[in-house]
Amino acid sequence: MMEKKEIGEAGERAAREYLEKTGYRIVDTNFRTRTGEIDIIAYDSTVLVFVEVKTRRSKRFGTPAEAVDWKKQKKIKKTALTYLAKNRLFYGNIRFDIVEVVIEGSEIKKICLIKDAFQAVE
C-alpha cells in the first residue's frame, strides 16, 4: 500500500502528464512560499493557470476537489500573487484549475480536470 506522500507524488505526476497531453505547457511545479504551495503552474494557450492537484484513494469522504475549500483557495490565490510578483508578470489572463486524481492500490483509476474551479476575485 502506498503512503500518503507517495500517493500525492503519483497524483501530481499523473496530473502533469495529463495536462501536457491536453495541451498545457508546464512552466513550474511545487512553487512554495510562506503562505502556501501551488502544485503546477502552466499555460493553457495564453492563459496562465495555477493548478491544485488533489489525489485520493476513494470518494468515501467526498470528491478530491471538495477538499479545496475557501481556506485552501485563499492560500492558493495569495501564493499565485507572489508568483506573479516574483516573475514580474502582469495580473491579467489567469485561471485556477483543479485536477482530481483517484488511485486504487498503485493504479490511477480516474483523472478529472476542473477548469476555472474558482475565481481569483471573490
CB 65 within 8 A of CB 115: no
Closest CA to 83 of 115, 44, 55, 42: 42
Domain boundaries, the chain: 4-118
The amino acid that residue 36 corresponds to is G
Residue 82 has pLDDT above 80, yes or no: yes
State the pLDDT at residue 61.
77
Please give the Cα distance from 114 to 108 (Å, whole number).
Answer: 17
Q: What is the dihedral of CA 13, 104, 32, 27, to 10 degrees?
A: 20
Per-residue pLDDT for 81 more than 90? yes
Exposure string of 73-103, with b = 16+ CB inside 10 Å and e = fewer, is bebbbebbebbbeeeeeeeeebbbbbbbbbb
| pLDDT recorded at residue 111 | 96
Q: What is the pTM of this model?
A: 0.92
**Is residue 58 scored above 70 in pLDDT?**
yes
CB of 64 closer than 8 Å to CB of 101 = yes
Architecture of domain 4-118: 3-Layer(aba) Sandwich (3.40)
For the chain, counts of helices (H) and of strands (E): 2, 5
pLDDT-based confidence at residue 4 (cuts at 50, 70, 90) = confident
